[in-house]
Amino acid sequence: MKRKRQSAIPLYDQSRETLQSRPVRRRDPEQPSLPFDPMPDRVEPCLALLRPGSPEGPDWLYELKWDGYRLAIHIAPKGVRIITRGGHDWTHRFPRIAEAASKLGVGTAILDGEAVVLNKEGRSDFGALQRSLGGRGGKRASTEAIFFAFDLLYFDGHDLTKTELDVRRHLLEDFLDGTVGAVQLSEEVHGDGAALLANACRMGLEGIVAKHRDRPYRSGRTGDWIKIKCVQSESFMIVGYEHSASARGGIGSLLLAARKGDGWMSVGSVGTGFKTNDAEYLRKTLHKLKMKTPVVPLKGKNYVFAQPTLIAEIEFRGWTDDGNLRHSSYKGLREIQDNAAVFDMAAIPKSS
């Protein structure tokens, strides 16, 4: 059966014209692919800093923020490897993406991007991506995920990490021009950063990412990339749960903690967002991790404390004055291989 093409929901300007990358020339198919620079086994990813507002000016380009798993695709004559942010080989978990990458017609390349599952409206859905992989600890291979490439780190024998982003983007757009299916280009969106963010939020998207055009690819959170979210979403440690005989799966809420220095700090709880199957899995797993003394100062008649092992992705609307999450909702568990960083209280924007 012919697979229907999926595409992400676009942003629009006031004229309702799609905001996307400018047309570029097709790559010369005769370009040689000589191994001038050794191909690295792994490149530590560049990470975006969370900021409450978008930087402005011609030095910045903007893209949609995807809600999925950060991956790097390594294409070589001997085959394709798909590497997670934590350095684990997940080629077998994304066979459709691997197959599409093998057909791109290039000798060597490293693509940086995000694997997502799109819903019917064309928005990336983190929960749907997790379900397609069989949940946390699942062994299922996702046939629904699409890889949106937003950077090119190595190409035809050349290490591009020391070149500025504008050059890398031009080569990436040229390379993936017209590509559809399981590997696609994450389009640059043009316009004022604040207006683009407002459009993204109105359309129910995750947010936008601003990237400095003149910077090389530098690993870690350097400030070269800035993420601005419509609704905040971060990873927190589950340190227990509130037992409820009336709630689905026996869990009334999950007890959450963030990093603070070398220890943990309670950030409240979350009682919405998980389905019955989620709650049953969480209760069963947390029961195995049960401990008498909580890792953060907590007291509750029906509290069950657990070792800090499970990391949950939580969507929330901000912070209360006493340091708890406001209007929080559970999105799913993070995989160990995804190398999710538990939120550090030192990272709260000063304007929050």
State residue 97 phi and psi, 5-degree precision.
Answer: -70, -40
- Nearest CA among 289, 259, 263, 273 for reference residue 327: 273
* Residues noted as catalytic: 65
Q: For residue 62, what is the DSSP state?
A: E
Dist CA 262 CA 223 (whole Å) = 24
Q: Give, as one character, the DSSP assignment of residue 164.
A: -
Q: How far apart are CA 286 and CA 255, in angstroms?
A: 11
- 3-class secondary-structure state, position 161: coil
**Do residues 253 and 241 make contact, with C-beta atoms less than 8 angstroms apart?**
yes
DSSP state of 14: T
Task: Give 302-313 as a DSSP string.
Answer: TEEEB-TT-EEE
**CA–CA gap between residue 184 and residue 180 (Å, rounded):** 6
